[in-house]
Amino acid sequence: MTEVKNLEEMFQAKIDAEQKIEPKDWMPEEYRKNLVRQISQHAHSEVVGMLPEGNWISRAPSLRRKAILLAKVQDEAGHGLYLYSACETLGTSREKTIEDLLSGKAKYSSIFNYPTITWADIGAVGWLVDGAAIMNQVMLTRTSYGPYARAMVRICKEESFHQRQGYEIMSVLAKGTKEQQQMAQDALDRWWWPSLMMFGPNDAESAHSAQSMTWKIKRESNDELRQKFIDRTVQQAEVIGLRIPDSDLKWNESTGHYDFGPIDWDEFWNVVKGNGPCNKARLEARNKAHDEGAWVREAALAYAAKRKERVAA
């Protein structure tokens, strides 16, 4: 018992001294499990997150918009691969992690279970969803687990482009015809509250935050990041003349933040539990893509085995 106690104390001392934990370092099993949970869900979110936007690649309003959206969706695929690789450094198998997604066992971000109804949704997703993701992911560039922190550096650079292109779509529509302005406002109305839910439950209800903060997996809490996102995004909406759909939203001089209305946590948990507008469609699409991609995996594995034989000969 003392041996493990000492190891845990040395581990926490490393965390407190701001040293990165690397794959070959001793770590508490709970630390490893917490990271596998979070990083795998993050990776699943990137991959499922391609679906709402992929829906508009063939319907983008111009070749320029199509090229930008294609680049963004390809980036998300790369982010998923980065994060699945970071997960594997913790001793998980890629096949098992992906099987957990395909079977419906694994979580991914609730936000991707909402439909992209108009082109303005693609703007709202880039602006709000990637904007919220950046808030969280910039913090994760300082997470205590080395591979995760390093994966975040590259991802954040690309995420900034994702947020800017979304905001540009919204600003162009907001300056357009009456119908375009209404389309942009309608998309903001539909994506605002689900974007706030991306940061997770309130701190008081967060199952993992306290331990994740002690281990510096998280540097800021769900509520702190959500507040930062609101404070920044309200001003961006004002600049392009769109209205945040929250009648309780009000600048609070004494706190230096916006007060905002109650989040519908029943909706959040309902979507997390699988009853959102698109949960079923998302899993079906992922399973179909996985089945249709089986020949690529088989060919790649066959090639790798052949190469190994040749090198060994």
Of 153 and 302, nearer to ligand 3HC (C-beta) is 153
Of 102 and 182, nearer to ligand 3HC (C-beta) is 102
Beta bridge partners of 21: 145
CA 91, CA 86: separation in Å to the nearest integer?
Answer: 10
Calculate the CA 40 to chain-centre distance.
11
Q: How far is the CB of 181 from ligand 3HC (least distance, A)?
A: 25
Of 251 and 265, nearer to ligand 3HC (C-beta) is 265
Q: How far is the CB of 38 from ligand 3HC (least distance, A)?
A: 4
Two structure tokens written together for 234: 């309200």
Residues of this chain that interact with ligand 3HC (CB under 6 A) are 37-38, 41-42, 45-46, 49, 76, 79, 107, 109-110, 129-130, 133, 136, 159, 197-201, 206-209, 212, 222, 272
Of 103 and 252, nearer to ligand 3HC (C-beta) is 103
Of 210 and 301, nearer to ligand 3HC (C-beta) is 210
Distance spanning both ends of the chain, measured CA to CA: 49
Q: How far is the CB of 49 from ligand 3HC (least distance, A)?
A: 5
Q: How far is the CB of 247 from ligand 3HC (least distance, A)?
A: 24
Kind of pairing between the strands at 257-259 and 250-252: antiparallel
The DSSP annotation for 118-129 comes to SHHHHHHIIIII
Instruction: Say if CB 216 and CB 143 are below 8 A apart.
Output: yes
- Per-residue DSSP letter, 201: S
CA 12, CA 10: separation in Å to the nearest integer?
Answer: 6
Two structure tokens written together for 100: 């957990």
- Per-residue DSSP letter, 55: T
Which of 229, 228, 209 shows the shortest CA–CA distance to 219?
A: 209
Contacts of residue 142, Cβ cutoff 8 Å, sequence gap at least 6: 149, 216, 219
Q: Which amino acid is at 167?
A: Y
Beta-strand runs (E) in the chain: 250-252, 257-259
Of 180 and 270, nearer to ligand 3HC (C-beta) is 270
Q: How far is the CB of 100 from ligand 3HC (least distance, A)?
A: 11
CA 45, CA 174: separation in Å to the nearest integer?
Answer: 29
Q: How far is the CB of 242 from ligand 3HC (least distance, A)?
A: 20
Q: How far is the CB of 232 from ligand 3HC (least distance, A)?
A: 16
Contacts of residue 178, Cβ cutoff 8 Å, sequence gap at least 6: none
Q: How far is the CB of 223 from ligand 3HC (least distance, A)?
A: 10
Instruction: Say if CB 282 and CB 51 are below 8 A apart.
Output: yes
Kindly report the backbone phi and psi dihedral angles of residue 186, in degrees, each rounded to the nearest multiple of 5, phi listed first. -65, -40
Of 135 and 237, nearer to ligand 3HC (C-beta) is 135
Q: How far is the CB of 203 from ligand 3HC (least distance, A)?
A: 8
Of 161 and 182, nearer to ligand 3HC (C-beta) is 161
Of 42 and 190, nearer to ligand 3HC (C-beta) is 42
